Amino acid sequence: MSLISKNEIKTIKSLSDKKYRDSCGLFAVEGEKMVDEALHSGFKVERIFRKEEIGEQAMSRISSFSTPSPVLAVIRKPDHIAISSYGMLDSILSGGGLFMALDKIRDPGNLGTIIRICDWFGVKALFASDDTVDVFNPKVVQATMGAIFRLRFHYTDIGELCKRVVSGNGRVYGTFLEGENIYSAGLDNGLESPSLVVIGNESEGISREIKGLVTDKINIPPYPDGESGSESLNAAVASAVTIAEFRRRLCT
């Protein structure tokens, strides 16, 4: 007797599709470490499938990877991933601190890596525009290395978020070629009010609407002499260097 039915295999395979994840409210994670982190998180683990129980063939059918993992868990998506009211937004920002917002990030690996960065550097919440890649995409989930189970993450209107940060006496930082050198820029506003770092799309950067709401334009200087053959840094790398510099100034 098999421990997984044909219908279950079909359902789990469908979880690689965003529409299906949305309609059933589930997503999948793979690997011992990820499943272990899920079990120790606030997320609800619905089912666990192990290769030694369901067989290698079934495992390779439900896995998103070319080399199937020994274990896969089906997990319920948490409520409130989408911000339901602006009051909720104000409440999240109210204690101040360091926040990050993504304006149309498209690459799953970048989103997953940025979640891992935010978790490492203690970012209080990560926000993403509705046209950012889905956070429950298998490539995103796996690239977080478990940080998805710890970091506060919400989809919301980034323009509205910026306005609320400013009306709460906070600052909105964005990286631009013409921005001020991040090492001499005044990041030291303190974290009693919110500091929000906005990261733009991989090829277009920060959108025009959001650019108008940025209070502090900053720039990671290339070497030597403020120029380099490269036009930009990868979005996750720019996130890391910026957040690390905030932490260096505000923690040490």
List interacting residues with a copy of itself (CB under 8 A): 109, 113, 116-117, 119-122, 143, 145-147, 150, 181, 183-184, 220-224, 228-234, 236-237, 240-241, 244-245, 247-248, 251-252
Total residues found in the chain within this entry: 252
To a copy of itself, the closest distance from the beta carbon of 55 in angstroms equals: 27
Cβ(135)–Cβ(110) under 8 Å? no
Q: Which is nearer to a copy of itself, 91 or 228 (CB)?
A: 228
To a copy of itself, the closest distance from the beta carbon of 6 in angstroms equals: 28
To a copy of itself, the closest distance from the beta carbon of 175 in angstroms equals: 13
Cβ(29)–Cβ(142) under 8 Å? yes
Q: Which is nearer to a copy of itself, 9 or 187 (CB)?
A: 187
Give phi and psi for 138, each to the nearest 5: -55, -35
Q: Is the peptide bond before 221 cis (omega within 30 degrees of 0)?
A: no
Q: Which is nearer to a copy of itself, 54 or 71 (CB)?
A: 71
Q: Which is nearer to a copy of itself, 4 or 237 (CB)?
A: 237
**CA–CA dist 141, 144 (Å, integer):** 5
To a copy of itself, the closest distance from the beta carbon of 16 in angstroms equals: 15
Burial per residue of 159-179, b for 16 or more beta-carbon CB atoms within 10 angstroms, e otherwise: bebbebbbeeebbbbbbeeeb
